[in-house]
Structure 1
Amino acid sequence: MILSQVDRTALNNKLSQRFIHLDPGGYFIIYLDPDQELIYVKHYTNVINEKGLAADPDTGRPIPTRGKVERQPSFVVSGRTAKELCITLFESSTPSPVTMLDHAAYLGRELMRAELCLDLGWDYIQD
């Protein structure tokens, strides 16, 4: 069955609402700098608490999913393409900051979306 763009969008929105296990290796914030034509990735460490929530390793408090995060990233990398950033994150970092395959797949998808938005001059909002 061939899905229309509207149906694909609806499917992706539904899938974005599923439960996911969080990566104990940390999480990433992805954003664009259109003027420099770069994709940026900030990595933050976390611990997973007894409720399965990402928590600040220093305070033990759950990390909010909305709003500004008042933490320092463990590192920041930038690149011109999704491939360049994936090579940096998965092949050049030892040990890798990503410890779960589903997290790696998610980052690959998001970095491709970010690259597409950069190419087309669109705003990028991380899923």
Structure 2
Amino acid sequence: MPFTLESLKTLDDKLSNRFIKLDPQGYFLIYLDREAGLICAKHFTNVIDDRGVALDPETGKPLPCQGGVTRTHTQIFTGRTAKELCIEIFEKMDPCPISCLDHAAYLGREFVRAEMALISGDEYVQD
């Protein structure tokens, strides 16, 4: 059965809504610095409770999925390409700020999407 762009988009949207186990090492907010030509990833720590909910390590309160909380990042990683950014995080950091393979795969996908948006000039919104 041939795939269409519409069917692939539907599949991708469906997969984006699945349950994801959170990484106890933290999370990243990815954005573009177009002026500098960089993909940027701010790393934030979190605590995962016994229900799998991410908590702010300073307040112990649940972290919302979107907006509402201003937090301080632990580090900013940058790269001109997805590969360069992955090397900065996965190969140069000791210890690595990622402990789950599914989180690493997600970041790789997002960094490629960000790189494509940087090159094309399209808007980038993290999934």
TM-score in terms of structure 1 length: 0.97
Aligned-partner Cα distance in 1 for 2:89–2:2: 34
1:22 pairs with 2:28: no
Aligned-partner Cα distance in 1 for 2:23–2:95: 14
Write out per-residue CA displacement over residues 1-51 of structure 1, whole angstroms, 9 at most, x where no aligned residue: 321011000000000000010000100000001121111100000010122
Alignment of 1:35-74 (within 5 A): 35-74=35-74
Cross-structure match for 2:87: 87
Cross-structure match for 1:111: 111
Structure 1 pair 69–81 and aligned structure 2 pair: CA distance change class (3 A): farther
Write out per-residue CA displacement over residues 80-110 of structure 1, whole angstroms, 9 at most, x where no aligned residue: 0000000011000001000000000000000
Instruction: Tell me the percent identity.
Output: 54
Cross-structure match for 1:4: 4
Cross-structure match for 1:124: 124
- Partner SS state of residue 102, structure 2: helix
Cross-structure match for 1:34: 34
Write out per-residue CA displacement over residues 34-89 of structure 1, whole angstroms, 9 at most, x where no aligned residue: 12111110000001012211111111101111115311001001110000000011
Cross-structure match for 1:97: 97
Q: After TM superposition, what 4+ stretches of structure 1 lie above 3 angstroms from structure 2?
A: none
Count of equivalent residues: 127
Segments of 5+ residues of structure 1 without an aligned counterpart are none
- Partner SS state of residue 109, structure 1: helix
Aligned-partner Cα distance in 2 for 1:43–1:9: 28
What root-mean-square deviation, in Å, do the aligned CA atoms of Structure 1 and Structure 2 show?
0.9
